[in-house]
Amino acid sequence: MAIGEKIKYLREQAKISQTELAEKVNTTKQNIYKYEKGIITNIPSDRIELIANALNTTPAYLMGWEEDIYDSEINLSRFSNIKPVKKIKLPMLGKIACGKPIFAEEEHEAFVEVDDSYGADFCLSAEGDSMINAGIDSGDTVLIREAPIVDNGQIAAVIIDDEATLKRVYYYKDKNKLVLQAENPRYEPLVFINEELNTIRILGKAVAVIKRL
C-alpha cells in the first residue's frame, strides 16, 4: 500500500476529514488531497511525523519500514471490520483444572502468541467441564492478567496448595470466607474459611479465552 493510500485509510478509520487533518499537521486541505492521491509523494519528514501522530500510527509504518499486513493480493484495507493485530508471546504455565484442581505444572519453555490488547501476562490450558457455562471448554487457552486480588464474581486462576483451578471468586471479608464457584451445576462450590485461606493464592484474572477452530 502506498503512503497516500495509508494516510487515506487511517484518516477514514479515524473519521477525520481532510480539512481536520490539514489543521492538525499545519498544511492545507489541497496538500492532504495530493498526498492521498499520490500527486505529491516526496512528503517532508517532519510532516510525515505530524501525520503519523495525528493518525495514531508511526512514521515507519507510513513509510513502509514496518510490516504492512494490508499489503497482499487482496487489499484488506477495503474491509472495515479487519484491523491490524499486534502480537506478543505469553508463557504457557501448564494446565489448569475446570473441575477438580490439578497440579500446577509450569511449562516455561512453551509460549503462545496472542494479541497484546488483552493485557495478559501468561496463559493456561483448561481441562475439564466445570466452566462450560462461562464459555470455557476443555482444551481452551485461558489468558490471565496477573493480580493477587480480583473482584467478586470474576473468573480467576487460583492455586490451592500446589494445585491450580479456574473458578469464579467470591470473598466475604466479614466472614473471612472464600468461595470458588464453578460454572456448571454438576460441581459444588469450594469453600475456605479462616486458616484454610492460607493455602489459597490467586494468580490472576482471566481476561480472554482462545478456542481451537
**Residues designated as active site:** 130, 167
- Of the candidates 60, 42, 54, the residue with the CA atom closest to the CA atom of residue 10: 54
**Could you identify the residue written with the cell 495478559?**
120
Half-sphere exposure of 145 (CA within 13 A, CB side): 13
Half-sphere exposure of 152 (CA within 13 A, CB side): 7
Rounded Cα gap, residues 106 and 93, in angstroms: 4
For helices 3-13 and 29-37, give the axis angle rounded to 10 degrees: 120
Rounded Cα gap, residues 142 and 40, in angstroms: 48
Rounded Cα gap, residues 208 and 213, in angstroms: 16
CB distance 121 to 204 below 8 Å = yes
145 forms beta bridges with 205
